[in-house]
Structure 1
Amino acid sequence: MDDAMDVDVPRGAKRKAEVLTDTAVPRRIQALDQDVVNKIAAGEIIVAPVHALKELMENAVDAGSTALEVLVKDGGLKLLQITDNGCGIDKDDLPILCERFTTSKLQKFEDLQTISTYGFRGEALASISHIAHLTVTTKTRDSNRAWRAHYDAGRLVPSKPGQSSDPKPAAGRQGTQITVEDLFYNIPTRRRAFRSAADEYNKIIDMVGRYAVHCSNVAFSCKKHGESATSIAVQATATCPDRIRQIYGGSVANELTEFSTSDSRWAFKAKGWATNANYSTKKTTILLFINHRCVESSNIRKAIEQTYAAFLPKNGHPFVYLSLEIDPHRVDVNVHPTKREVNFLNEDEIIQAICEHIRSKLAAVDASRTFLTQSLLPGGTWAGPQPSTSAAATPSKPSGGSAARKTPARPNENNLVRTDTNLRKITSMLPPAVPPGRAGPSSGPGAPPHNSEAEIEYEIVDRELTPCRLVSVRELRAAVREDMQHELTEIFANHTFVGVVDERRRLAAIQGGVKLYLVDYGRVCLEYFYQLGLTDFGNFGVIRFNPPLDLRELLALAAEQEKKNTTPGDQDGVGDDEEGELDSAELVELVAQQLVERREMLLEYFSLEISPTGELLSIPLLVKGYTPAIVKLPRFLLRLGPHVNWTEEKACFDSFLRELAAFYVPEQLPTSPGNDDDAARDEREIHAEIRARRTHVRRAVEHVLFPAFKARLVATKSLAQGTILEVADLKGLYRVFERC
């Protein structure tokens, strides 16, 4: 025992000569088991779920697909499914589909010199089958049925114990669907190394977005399992700038410049889109494709960043999409297991030629750049945006033997764009809404707006969001997206609120760029609240009544008011049926019965709660910070009877949400009095609640509704007709006044 302890000296200690003579016999070299070899190879190729997705997408594009659908669960670790409409896989090829080095793209090693497809080694599916449960469903054009096969460790396996492992016939459309489940289930150390499913899903979204930008005439969609909304949805007919807009945002797409160059000496062609000098971000984004393969190149990245350094402010970085086509004989694609990197000849010359071309493109649009400057002198004030012109960059000549002070060039006022919503608005120039003699110390044009939201109490509940799986609601959402008017949507997304112009006609002024628009915010609110109802379907907030309201009393009040407002022969009143046979009492009872009978559906979908005895307990809350006019509640409830199609699901949801949107539209209020004595006298007679409502509506329009339009409104083609009117163009006005 002591001798053994003497031999096992501490690690790192110097061993004695007698110990070295007693060393063990050297281990024999043996060939690794084939299963170990396959798992090692799989670990080199499939490092993360995004690498498996990249291999599957490339195979789908190689198969001639025009539409790819990606479904992900738990960041791809639980489920990763890709469906395409390509040529499919022949049934006779399924037994060897997942064996290593089985491919239809190579026959001899020399073929690598002319390879033009994404995949070529036949290792992707083999590697995935060794570390996940793989299912392939495929159908060719000539086959009258689809075939489904299950794989494990590169071999066909039965779907259930005791069954045959041969491919089974199944229903399916032309193309291939590959389902990868439980990725890295047999490598627990690697599976535990992933931090979160959200990080892996973001990597997948980034990879899908890159190929969606590059692969023209191919539709891409990607979403999480169990969710109806897609994270990426690109149509096959979308252009490259449109694809960049959908994936990377309008701020990038608005500043894109197209470039294209080639050189026969180095046998390359380069094309793409790059942002100009008006756009900069904190991190460089480069979508690099060499011979249509998504790769990375630190040399190209550094060269592009150095090119932009002369045009962008400090710590500013560009967005560049570059597609580089090089003679295949000059490219070595087989240098990295995941094909993430490639080597090609004359790399320095090609990179220099591309960067010089991009530099010339940037110089051509450099005249539009603007910068913010600030005085460094004590007591200095902000100088405002200063254009980068030659006059501003030329130093003044010294006078009197001392250095002259540099005076920044004065900006052209006709190019200034209002960007600060705290600047003076039209409403501050109008007389106060409070009648004379009642103005308090906080009233007046310069007083802050009345914070009516502070008077509203909100209760936050822990209810989870309910995903909407109704096909009818999805179709209504899709109809809104298809009816989108892009130009008007862009105006609302980037507008600056100017002020409320007319509360009686519900008009407001906004600025878009250097243009001033007059907007009918009543119609815009109607469309916005309808879209909000579709987006938050089944997840509305609740406005509760304490004590509850009598439903029949509200309906009777609305029916009596409609009867007074309806002229003889008018068939548009809500109290008139097609034959005019129902009186007010019968109509009230009929509508009340309809609502009480459907109270469970109204509560589940619309948060409209009605008791079995006919008490109104709550109505839906669509947006925080704004409450609809309660005076419109009786008419809203009455219109739910004849104006909602209760027989068809899709028509029911559509008509109900439109009535709900009409209820939420701000009411038309009397305008503030001017210098006219009669108008001032009439204003004094308005109830205090009307004045408080005007204050609430003004604040909601400016601070709640128009900011919501900016973030979520999809302007439709019907909304573009008669809703917004251009009333002034700053450049045009300056031309008019220059003639005076």
Structure 2
Amino acid sequence: MAEDMDISQSPPRGTKRKGDDSLPLPAPRRIKALAQDVVNKIAAGEIIVAPVHALKELIENAVDAGSTALEVMVKDGGLKLLQITDNGHGIDKEDMPILCERFTTSKLKAFEDLTSIGTYGFRGEALASISHIAHLKVTTRTKGSSCAWEAHYADGKLASPKPGQSAEPKPKAGRQGTQITVEDLFYNVPSRRRAFRSSSEEYAKILELVGKYAVHCVGVSFSCKKAGDNSGSSVSVPASASIKDRIRQLHGSGVASELVSLKTEDDRWGFKCNGWISNANYSAKRTGMLLFINHRSVESAVIKKSVEQTYSTFLPKGGHPFFYLSLEIEPARVDVNVHPTKREVHFLNEDEIVAMICDEIRTSLSKVDTSRSFMTQSLLSNSKVPFATPMKQAAPITATSITGDVSDFSSSKAPKTISRMPNENNLVRTDASARKITSMLQPQRSVDEPANEDEEMEYEFTEKEPMACRLTSVKDLRAEVRDAMHNELTDILSTHTFVGIVDEQKRIVAIQGGVKLFLVDYGMLCNEYFYQVGLTDFANYGAIRFNPPLPLEDLLRVAVEQERKNAGDEADEIDWDEVVESVKDVLIGKAALLQEYFSMEITEQGELCSIPLLMKGYTPSMAKLPQFLLRLGPHVNWNDEKGCFQTLLREVASFYVPECLPLPPSASLDGSGKGKERLVEEDPEIAARRAKVREAVEHVIFPACKARLVATKGLLKGVMEIANLKGLYRVFERC
């Protein structure tokens, strides 16, 4: 039956079917060499991934060139413009034709040199790669050259700046060093250019990179800002700043005040390690790591993870440290040529070296003692004895935000501090940022009380155009203030809360900074503030006009009478009439200078018509005017421009300082001896002056100092810390 049935059997499953031999096979593709232009663009894409990578190469080249000052300018996150200017040794004109060719370098001669490389760059690909994906311009001048040379590059070769012009380098004026300008990055790689989401994100990466090298490269000043932004530099670090001060300026005083020094080395593994690490009092949401190996900024997941594990026993859960480490490893033990952008390096005995560093971190953290010692002393018992332990003096730091020829140094903002949740010992009743109850009370004046002369003063506004100061002497004086800046004290004064005047006679006020209480010599503070105002607003002051004008000779005679009383027995040896005539002749002779730069008008007949107005809403004591005019004769250096402006501004600042006033009278016992108190009335004129000084200091001068004062190191002598609630909390916590 089955034999009669026609059953079609399918082929077994899994049987390989034969191909159709009738179909033609495709011809094998031939191997061809890529065009050199394509090769160069591929190589450029490996090295220059983003604007920040181009800047990293340029910064390293500038530091290798012995530069002590680097200025970076950025536009549209570096895609539109990326410019770096240094003051290094420059590039010889003869080397400019091959400057942007691949594998041209002054740092290697043989392959064996890689085992002892001690510079940042070495392959000679950075400028070549940039020239293939951007418009590149180089302006350079060596020490022995009579002028600077400017050249444009495209695809690694010299290019003409405009069609029809020669491609050879052209002479031009310029200072020693090199300026490299990169424009329209990735203009011929549209896919790469479209990959960048926002210019602000790229600019943030650039600031992070500049900040890393600004911390590490001691002795080199850094500045970075956006093109066309006149508000100041986003990063500004002076060459004189120490590593700790650089960290304070770039990462905040909250980090810098909790740093511990770290040093370790070992000859067996051939390394040295120096750095600064945060102690157990500091904790952040993410780890802050600045890692340099042989002075090159690198990333290392192994080191980061190991350090975080070391800190885990010291910090609360979720807390992360900040650390800056600089490792110097024997060049023969390091392979720096493992990453196109040199972001990573490999070195021998990595596990052993990392373990030694972590052991040293653990030891350093264990040694930190957070206890505090306090001194007590009766308040204001002796003006020559400090009230408490003075603040520690730190190395100078220049404003953050001011470098070069920027004139208004006092408009720089105080360094930003890292914001974090306060601990229990920071939760105090008095908050430095809270509004004071006295600010809600409007001062009431009785009918018999004399009106405030500031309220009666009439202000006139003129259409005088502001004059830009281009005097080198004034710029030097401004730079001296920036170099003398004390960062921690500036931070305290810029965020302080005014507590009250302690003593008008010794000119002392109390202020609160955070959870600390300070006594401040406001006479010294005002002197420095008005001096800085004089420098900032130089030649652009207002004027306090006298109507009618005051006879200069009469004012000088009033000052001379006071000097005669103070001179004692020596008064008869001085010809006071000659002093009056001499000072009068000097002031009349310098009337043009005084009027042009200091708004101080003196007529040929010897009449004083006006004096400079430094602050609206505050008028200096006119009782000090005769003495101020008399001191302008012998105490001003009229023979030197810089010395003249400096001494003259110091005298103006001293004139504007609020006067010393006697202590208010206190109740005393009457003569009966029965213990009854007898009230002593104060002179009405002194009482009015006291009220005026109190009003000006609290509501005018200190708010102005809070907004724009650059606290210098000299002010440390006039600031005393008398209480620290955080330290007291720890003392009670241990009990």
Q: 1:252 to 1:26 in 2, by over 3 A?
A: same
Which of 229, 235, 238 matches 2:239? 235
1:126 deviates by 0.8
Which of 625, 631, 649 matches 1:657? 649
Partner Cα separation in structure 2 for residue 343 and residue 465 of structure 1: 58
Which whole-Å deviations, capped at 9, do the CAs of 1:554-573 have from their partners, x for residues lacking one? 8688557546645489799x
Question: 2:287 maps to what in 1?
Answer: 284
1:530 deviates by 0.9
1:609 deviates by 10
SS in 2 for 1:54: helix
Partner Cα separation in structure 2 for residue 554 and residue 315 of structure 1: 73
SS in 2 for 1:474: helix
Matches within 5 A, 1:217-256: 218-222=219-223, 224=225, 231-235=235-239, 240-245=243-248, 247-256=250-259
Q: 1:140 to 1:620 in 2, by over 3 A?
A: closer
Question: 1:398 maps to what in 2?
Answer: none
Contact 2:501–2:694 at 8 Å: present in 1 too? no
1:321 deviates by 1.1
Contact 1:552–1:592 at 8 Å: present in 2 too? no
SS in 1 for 2:153: strand
Question: 1:683 maps to what in 2?
Answer: 682
1:468 deviates by 5.2
Contact 2:135–2:182 at 8 Å: present in 1 too? yes
1:99 deviates by 0.8
Which of 275, 278, 283 matches 1:275? 278
TM-score, normalised on structure 1? 0.65
Which of 206, 209, 213 matches 1:207? 209
Which of 547, 550, 563 matches 1:550? 547
Question: 1:152 maps to what in 2?
Answer: 154
Question: 1:526 maps to what in 2?
Answer: 527
SS in 2 for 1:165: coil
1:82 deviates by 2.8
1:363 deviates by 2.0
- Structure 2 alignment gaps of length 5 or more: 1-22, 374-424, 438-442, 447-451, 671-677, 726-735
Partner Cα separation in structure 2 for residue 460 and residue 184 of structure 1: 49
Partner Cα separation in structure 2 for residue 461 and residue 347 of structure 1: 71
SS in 2 for 1:311: coil
Contact 1:83–1:177 at 8 Å: present in 2 too? yes
Percent identity over the alignment is: 49
Which whole-Å deviations, capped at 9, do the CAs of 1:477-501 have from their partners, x for residues lacking one? 2334566789998997999977533
Which of 126, 131, 136 matches 1:133? 136
Partner Cα separation in structure 1 for residue 203 and residue 458 of structure 2: 38
Which whole-Å deviations, capped at 9, do the CAs of 1:682-727 have from their partners, x for residues lacking one? 4164477435314314534995377569x631032xx677x57899
Contact 1:495–1:510 at 8 Å: present in 2 too? yes
Partner Cα separation in structure 2 for residue 620 and residue 283 of structure 1: 50
Which of 52, 60, 63 matches 2:62? 60
Partner Cα separation in structure 1 for residue 590 and residue 529 of structure 2: 28
Question: 1:734 maps to what in 2?
Answer: none
Question: 2:301 maps to what in 1?
Answer: 298
1:125 deviates by 0.8
SS in 2 for 1:184: coil
Q: 1:653 to 1:583 in 2, by over 3 A?
A: closer
Matches within 5 A, 1:28-39: 33-39=35-41
Partner Cα separation in structure 2 for residue 598 and residue 28 of structure 1: 86
Contact 1:220–1:235 at 8 Å: present in 2 too? yes
Which whole-Å deviations, capped at 9, do the CAs of 1:71-116 have from their partners, x for residues lacking one? 4253654351332434x54544332220122234456666655544
Q: Do residues 118 (structure 1) and 120 (structure 2) align?
A: yes
Partner Cα separation in structure 1 for residue 627 and residue 49 of structure 2: 58
Question: 1:693 maps to what in 2?
Answer: 692
Give, as a single letter, the amino acid of the residue that structure 2 aligns with 1:119: G
Question: 2:4 maps to what in 1?
Answer: none
TM-score, normalised on structure 2? 0.65
Question: 1:322 maps to what in 2?
Answer: 325
1:275 deviates by 1.5
Q: After the TM superposition, which of the residue ranges 193-202 and 316-325 deviates more from structure 2? A: 193-202
Question: 1:397 maps to what in 2?
Answer: none
Q: 1:668 to 1:162 in 2, by over 3 A?
A: same
Partner Cα separation in structure 1 for residue 593 and residue 239 of structure 2: 43
1:364 deviates by 2.2
SS in 1 for 2:667: coil
Give, as a single letter, the amino acid of the residue that structure 1 aligns with 2:547: D
Which whole-Å deviations, capped at 9, do the CAs of 1:525-556 have from their partners, x for residues lacking one? 2123213432454677x6x88xx752614868
Question: 2:102 maps to what in 1?
Answer: 100
- Structure 1 alignment gaps of length 5 or more: 1-20, 371-415, 429-433, 441-450, 731-740
Partner Cα separation in structure 2 for residue 502 and residue 355 of structure 1: 52
Question: 1:704 maps to what in 2?
Answer: 703
Contact 2:333–2:347 at 8 Å: present in 1 too? yes
Contact 1:257–1:273 at 8 Å: present in 2 too? yes
Question: 1:503 maps to what in 2?
Answer: 504
Partner Cα separation in structure 1 for residue 636 and residue 197 of structure 2: 50
Partner Cα separation in structure 1 for residue 457 and residue 29 of structure 2: 80
SS in 2 for 1:338: coil
Q: 1:54 to 1:111 in 2, by over 3 A?
A: same
Matches within 5 A, 1:312-711: 312-326=315-329, 331-344=334-347, 347=350, 350-365=353-368, 368=371, 469-480=470-481, 500-508=501-509, 520-535=521-536, 537=538, 549-550=546-547, 552-553=549-550, 558=555, 561-562=558-559, 565=562, 567=564, 579-580=578-579, 582=581, 599=595, 601-602=597-598, 620-622=613-615, 627-629=618-620, 631=622, 635=626, 642=633, 649-676=641-668, 680-683=679-682, 685-686=684-685, 689-697=688-696, 699-700=698-699, 704=703, 707=706
1:55 deviates by 0.9
Q: 1:273 to 1:266 in 2, by over 3 A?
A: same
SS in 2 for 1:657: helix
Give, as a single letter, the amino acid of the residue that structure 2 aligns with 1:629: P
SS in 1 for 2:344: coil
1:300 deviates by 2.7
SS in 2 for 1:274: strand
Partner Cα separation in structure 2 for residue 553 and residue 615 of structure 1: 5
Q: 1:220 to 1:140 in 2, by over 3 A?
A: same
1:44 deviates by 3.7
Which whole-Å deviations, capped at 9, do the CAs of 1:272-321 have from their partners, x for residues lacking one? 22121123344422111123321122343233233223322454332211
Q: 1:127 to 1:640 in 2, by over 3 A?
A: farther
Question: 1:409 maps to what in 2?
Answer: none
Give, as a single letter, the amino acid of the residue that structure 1 aligns with 2:472: V
Instruction: Tell me the matched-pair count.
Output: 617
Partner Cα separation in structure 2 for residue 455 and residue 70 of structure 1: 50
Question: 1:42 maps to what in 2?
Answer: 44
Give, as a single letter, the amino acid of the residue that structure 1 aligns with 2:221: F
Q: 1:228 to 1:144 in 2, by over 3 A?
A: farther
1:635 deviates by 4.8
Partner Cα separation in structure 2 for residue 268 and residue 475 of structure 1: 43
Partner Cα separation in structure 2 for residue 294 and residue 121 of structure 1: 17
Give, as a single letter, the amino acid of the residue that structure 2 aligns with 1:53: L
Q: 1:519 to 1:708 in 2, by over 3 A?
A: same
SS in 1 for 2:289: strand
Question: 2:408 maps to what in 1?
Answer: none
Partner Cα separation in structure 1 for residue 469 and residue 161 of structure 2: 32
